[in-house]
Amino acid sequence: MQTRRLMVCRLVMILVLWSGLGWAQQPRHGGTLRIALSGDLTFLNANQGPAPGYETFWIWNNIFNSLLSMTPPPELKIIPALATSWDVLDEGKTYVFHLVEGVKFHDGTDFDAEAAKWNFERILTPDVKSWVRTYYEEIDTVEAVDTYTLRVRLKEPSGALPTILAGYFQGIPMASPKSFATHDKEWVHHPAGTGPYMFKEWVPGKHIILEKNPTYFKPGLPYLDTVEFRVMKDPLTASAALRAGEVDLIARMPIQQALVLEKMPGITVLTGPAMAPTVALLNMRVKPFDDVRARRAVGGYGLDRVEIAKVAFHGRSKPLVSVLAQGVPDAIDLNEMYPYNPEEAKRLLKELGYDAQHPLQFTILVSNHDSTLADVAALVKTQLAKIGVEAKIQLMDLTAVIDRFVVKHDFDMHVSSFADLLDINMRSVSFFKGAQADYLGMDDPKLEELVRQWRRSLEPSGRLAISADIQRLLAEQMYWVNVAGYPFFRAHTGKVKGFPFYG
């Protein structure tokens, strides 16, 4: 699953125009930015349903705004968006948001406190099955105090709500209530937000076109008239198109292409802090992974993380056991818990009844859109063979993998990259039994209570200590299998200026 943070990565960058007469390099409004996407969309549901996947986030981050936003790493400062300011009252139990006045949704209706209230309440409605609902479960009531004032009352104190709204998968993207009433279940194909670009066209497998919002509430933005996303599943095709000037930016590419493009004149390759992991997640709904011994054997001692980081990522990543990658501020190093130890892995499997005559057999699910992930899966398969495990790799299209993993939970092991994170709570959406994002089948009341303690804590030092406890518990039980950090790369031509790397 390629769900990505991308927080406020709306494409309001500058597109510099050139001419044969040697114009000065000055930013100018207008024009089209052409972006290569490695996969097609799933559904534009503004977090009001299953997780959409990384490529879809690239689209809807341009269509929707949240109340708050965040500056790029490493600063990660919370800043206003649709809320101009906010007050924290009752020792963290009440938040009052003062909204920007005069903002219109793309369908012409007003964004106001009632519309914001509707979006909050829809995320909280169990029948909607929002994958981010667990972030907001402490909310008691949401009130429209007046036209441009929204009050959120919590059941218990929270020091995390502003960060959640600003940086957790774009918080609660504000969608037009009218679009739901007009289009019913088809509203996911008719998104109407307040963002800098409006949805125009989606031809599945080919392209998505967004047009400039002429009434965008931020003065002078956006710069571009049109943003065209072209679906290019083959990274070699995308790289060739970038070099030929047929696209201006590649949203994401495997490290193999980054190594080539960074040597090309006129091409800029971007990367950032190690805030995302490469995962080899085990489905605890299926045997034998409901037993911690199997998880420790296959996801712990049986994996040579040093080799994976060195070979698959050409030494540009580091081995990783903790649920948090090394660049996340509250990450701790837990690599010593699971050194590569094939003999210990075989011992644990023997306790479970597996041996040379009765080997453990399962399938590794991986998307075919990223050759690096296929390389990781191949390394995992080879390493597991050394402990007597017979793993079969199943390569599938990205949208099919999202359906299998996110919606149906139909997998044994899933090799993928996962989201950039800000803190442990951002990952906790997957820790609660029965939650929409409970992909792995976790069932640990102690873990859930630790997450709630983290959210209640108003002091950063207290949250750091609880985060460390959560990371150790996850590693001890091998609930979450990370193998290495995942360095994300994108590239653009010299025409693109002022583009920040969000992850």
- Give the per-residue pLDDT at 381: 98
Residues 325 and 409 in one domain: yes
Three-state DSSP at 66 gives coil
- Residues 55 and 95 occupy one common structural domain: no
Q: Residue 369: its pLDDT value, please?
A: 84
Average pLDDT over residues 253-271: 93
DSSP for residue 189: G
Same domain, 78 and 45: no
**pLDDT band per the 50, 70, 90 thresholds, residue 503:** low
Q: What is the CATH number of the domain that holds 226?
A: 3.40.190.10
One domain, residues 297 and 253: no
Does a structural domain hold residue 7? no
Alpha-carbon gap, residue 143 to 96, rounded angstroms? 9
Q: pLDDT-derived band of residue 6, with 50, 70 and 90 as boundaries?
A: very low
Q: Residues 409-426: pLDDT tens digits?
A: 999 999 999 888 999 999
Residue 319 CA to residue 306 CA, distance in Å, equals 5
Expressed as residue numbers, the domain containing 330 is: 277-485
Residue 13 has pLDDT above 90, yes or no: no
Residue 196 is predicted with a pLDDT of 97
Residue 130 lies in a domain: yes
| 213 domain residue, yes or no | yes
pLDDT at 433 over 60: yes
3-class DSSP state of 68: strand
Per-residue model confidence (pLDDT) at position 27: 61
The reply to whether 252 and 398 lie within a common domain is no
Q: Is the pLDDT of residue 87 over 60?
A: yes
What pLDDT score was predicted for residue 502?
66
Whether 5 is in a domain gets the answer no
Q: What is the pTM of this model?
A: 0.86
> Going by C-beta distance under 8 Å and a sequence separation of 6 or more, which residues neighbour residue 39?
2, 53, 54, 55, 231, 233, 367, 369, 397, 398, 399
Q: How confident is the model at residue 193 (pLDDT cuts 50, 70, 90)?
A: very high
Q: What is the pLDDT of residues 15-66, one digit of tens each?
A: 433 333 333 455 678 899 999 998 888 778 888 877 777 778 888 889 999 9
Query: Are 442 and 293 members of one domain?
Result: yes
Q: CB under 8 Å to 154, separation ≥6 — which residues?
A: 92, 93, 94, 95, 138, 139, 140, 161
Quick check: 106 pLDDT over 60?
yes
Residue 200 has pLDDT above 50, yes or no: yes
Q: In the predicted model, what is the mean pLDDT of the chain?
A: 91
Tens-digit pLDDT profile for residues 368-380: 988 899 999 999 9
The band of 164, judged by pLDDT with boundaries at 50, 70 and 90, is very high
The pLDDT value given to residue 339: 98
Assigned domain for 237 exists: yes
How many domains are contained in the chain? Answer: 3
Question: Do residues 86 and 230 both lie within one domain?
Answer: no
Amino acid type, 263: K
Q: Please give the torsion angle defined by the CA atoms of residues 94, 95, 96 and 100, in that order, rounded to the nearest 10 degrees.
A: -160
User: Does some domain include residue 442?
Assistant: yes
331 pLDDT above the threshold of 80:
yes
Q: Is 312 found in the same domain as 250? A: no
Same domain, 304 and 401: yes
Whether 112 is covered by a domain: the verdict is yes
493 and 480 housed in the same domain: no
d(CA 68, CA 172): 9
Does residue 266 sit in the same domain as residue 283? no
What confidence score (pLDDT) does residue 10 get? 43
Quote the pLDDT of residue 2.
Answer: 39
Does any domain span residue 458?
yes
Shared domain check, 465 and 361: yes
Q: For the domain that residue 352 is a member of, what is the CATH number?
A: 3.10.105.10
